[in-house]
Chain A
Amino acid sequence: AQSVAQPEDQVNVAEGNPLTVKCTYSVSGNPYLFWYVQYPNRGLQFLLKYITGDNLVKGSYGFEAEFNKSQTSFHLKKPSALVSDSALYFCAVRPPNTDKLIFGTGTRLQVFP
């Protein structure tokens, strides 16, 4: 079955420290991978995507993600966390030849001052 896993319900990090939010996927073929962020009472905001090419993808607000095909992972990273980064983060995959996004369960990022 096609699926996305975000193994951590919550990630806590101090402001100024690097952060990583993990995502692994299970799909057949080469997927398209996305990260979205959700702030309270808001919809999802697009952060970045991997389609093909360079495994390191840079996105909005200083976030980046690294695609690792052998480990079927697409971890979200940021070198220096901000308190304003505190939000709910979703990893999503679009399997080839499908029209829908499959989302992970979300990871709540808490950045402490």
Chain B
Amino acid sequence: KAGVTQTPRYLIKTRGQQVTLSCSPISGHRSVSWYQQTPGQGLQFLFEYFSETQRNKGNFPGRFSGRQFSNSRSEMNVSTLELGDSALYLCASSPLSLAGVPGYEQYFGPGTRLTVT
């Protein structure tokens, strides 16, 4: 099976712009979660989607949003980019919702490296 894929792998944007990142989960996986990784804050949970519904959201401002499509692919959007949004954005998938079957591990993609200048 192919792993989790994320596009693009690298992105450079200017402060104030918006950006959309894409994630394709492992085939058959229906839960997609997003994480932000920075040297200062480490790995932080952004949100989880399952069956096109947002199940949980981390402590991020409303500029961060996401959605999931019927084929389980997910996108996250960051509007009005700030310098502090520079990070590695990781997408992870699991077969079912983490709430429904809590023992499932998540499988991560390679990430999208976003640089805001």
Taking A46-B108, A99-B99, A100-B98 as known contacts, 4 extra A-B pairs with beta carbons closer than 8 A to each other, sorted by chain A number, are A43-B90, A43-B110, A43-B111, A101-B45
Q: B42 on the interface (CB 8 Å rule)?
A: yes
Encoded as 1 (CB less than 8 Å from any B CB) or 0, chain A from 19 to 46 comes to 0000000000000101010000111111
Number of A-B contacts (CB under 8 A): 59
Encoded as 1 (CB less than 8 Å from any B CB) or 0, chain A from 69 to 111 comes to 0000000000000000000001000101111111111100000
Cα-based distance from A105 to B98 in the complex (angstroms) = 22
On chain A, the number of residues with a Cβ less than 8 Å from chain B's Cβ atoms is 24
Interface size class of B (residues with CB under 8 A): 20 to 34
CB <8 Å contact, B110 and A94:
no
CB <8 Å contact, B42 and A105:
yes
Chain B residue, CB-CB nearest to A48: B105
CB <8 Å contact, A100 and B45:
yes
Q: A14 on the interface (CB 8 Å rule)?
A: no
Indicate which residue in B43, B55, B92, B102 contacts A96 across the interface (CB closer than 8 Å).
B102
